[in-house]
Amino acid sequence: MVNVNDLKVGMTIQMDGNIYTVLELGHVKPGKGAAFVTAKLKNLRTGSIIEERFNAGIKIETAHIERRDMQYLYEMNGIYYFMNMETYDQIELNQSSLGEDAKFLKENLIVSITSYEGEVIGMALPDKIEYKITHSEPAVKGNTSSGAMKDATLENGMTIKVPLFIEEGENILVTSKDGKYSSRA
């Protein structure tokens, strides 16, 4: 249990059967009446963000979140398999629990799996991921005054836009936040 006055950004709390992480905090002491704390909270299971107001001095239960680095192994029939690098235990996650991040997975990629009391509640990808280009059209000269791009297919099947000078067989870095080309590897 922690006093709401001692909450900090990034802490995880349990409230109404849900797990939240604190995104923003504000301590308000009006001229008349009791002080209170406002907090912007993100639900770790659903991703929804709520704003909550707590009276000063009340206690909230903390949630102990466990983060482990795991290696992505393979996907079969919509089930994704990951291995703990220390104990070699394997876990299975379905497409719905991974969401849009599943398209960035490639074999042997190390990701951070977040769990609460044995329940997996999320996965965090590295900021930039290295991929090999398996198919790319040759560059065409013409209207290339600035920033011309072409399509390229990556080793995991994803198609992105890359600059004209990038060729098939090269390794590139892709940002996992927006899925765009970052640089050569």
CA distance readout (Å), 10 to 20, 52, 184? 10, 15, 33
Q: Is the CATH code 2.30.30.30 the one for domain 2-62?
A: yes
Give me 81's structure tokens: 């398999």
Give me 36's structure tokens: 């209170």
Q: CATH assignment of 128-184?
A: 2.40.50.140
So what's the pLDDT on residue 115?
A: 85
Task: Indicate the average pLDDT of the chain.
Answer: 85
So what's the pLDDT on residue 51?
A: 93
So what's the pLDDT on residue 147?
A: 72
Domain topology for 66-124 = OB fold (Dihydrolipoamide Acetyltransferase, E2P) (2.40.50)
Contact of 122 with 44, CB cutoff 8 Å: yes
So what's the pLDDT on residue 143?
A: 55
- SS3 string of 22-88? EEEEEEECCCCCCCEEEEEEEECCCCCEEEEEEECCCEEEECCCEEEEEEEEEEECCEEEEEECCCC
So what's the pLDDT on residue 94?
A: 84
- Write phi, then psi, for 168 (nearest 5 degrees): -60, 140
Topology alike, domains 66-124 and 128-184: yes
| Residue 97, H or E segment | helix 95-98
Structure confidence by residue, pLDDT tens digits, 9-59: 888 888 888 888 889 998 888 888 888 889 999 888 887 899 999 888 889
Domain map of the chain by residue range?
2-62, 66-124, 128-184
Residue 89 vs residue 140, higher pLDDT? 89
Distance CA 35, CA 55 (A): 7
User: What confidence tier does 144 reach under pLDDT thresholds 50, 70, 90?
Assistant: low
| Whole-number percent of the chain with pLDDT over 90 | 6
So what's the pLDDT on residue 40?
A: 93
Enter the pTM of the model: 0.71
* Mean pLDDT along residues 106-110: 88
Structure confidence by residue, pLDDT tens digits, 145-177: 567 788 888 888 888 888 888 888 888 888 888
So what's the pLDDT on residue 139?
A: 72
So what's the pLDDT on residue 63?
A: 86
| Whole-number percent of the chain with pLDDT over 70 | 96
